[in-house]
Homo-oligomer: A and B are copies of this chain.
Amino acid sequence: MTAEHFDQLLGLEYTEITKDGVTATFTVTPQLQQPYGILHGGVLCSVVESVGSISGAAWWDGPVVGTSNHTNFIKATRDGTLTARSVPVHRGRSQQLWDIEITDEQQRLIAKGQLRLANLDKTGSDTIGRS
């Protein structure tokens, strides 16, 4: 599974993908800002969603679907390159929970999110997104 579609719009690039965590980076561009010129909070949620989903799929070695994304915004940012890193909180037979921290180039915490995932049938017989 590779980053596609919406990740491309975000400019998200994965630098490490393992079963125990994922690292990705992206750069704050004007099109990712909200009307006040600061990075749109939805971009931070989206990065949490992508990085957490890739993390869960790598560990489960099969399809997963996000069920809940709770992202806290810590510090406003207007530019620069941000880095997102995931760590597992829980990896179970039916659900996973991952923490994702997004930091700036000075290692300051910009946002912290938590993504809950449902593990889907590896044979693909599940209907994706039905829970």
Question: How many copies of this chain are found per oligomer?
Answer: 4
A90: chain B residues within 8 A (beta carbon): 72, 74, 109, 131
Q: Given A45-B42, A70-B70: A92 and B130 within 8 A (CB)?
A: yes
A50: chain B residues within 8 A (beta carbon): 34, 40, 42
A1: chain B residues within 8 A (beta carbon): 35
Q: Do residues B70 and A66 form an inter-chain contact, with CB atoms below 8 A?
A: no
Interface residues of A in 7-33 (CB under 8 A from B): 7-10, 30-33
Q: Do residues A43 and B6 form an inter-chain contact, with CB atoms below 8 A?
A: yes
Q: Is A81 an interface residue (CB 8 A)?
A: no
A71: chain B residues within 8 A (beta carbon): 45, 68-70
Q: Do residues B9 and A31 form an inter-chain contact, with CB atoms below 8 A?
A: yes
Q: Is A4 an interface residue (CB 8 A)?
A: yes
Beta-carbon nearest neighbor of A1 in chain B: B35
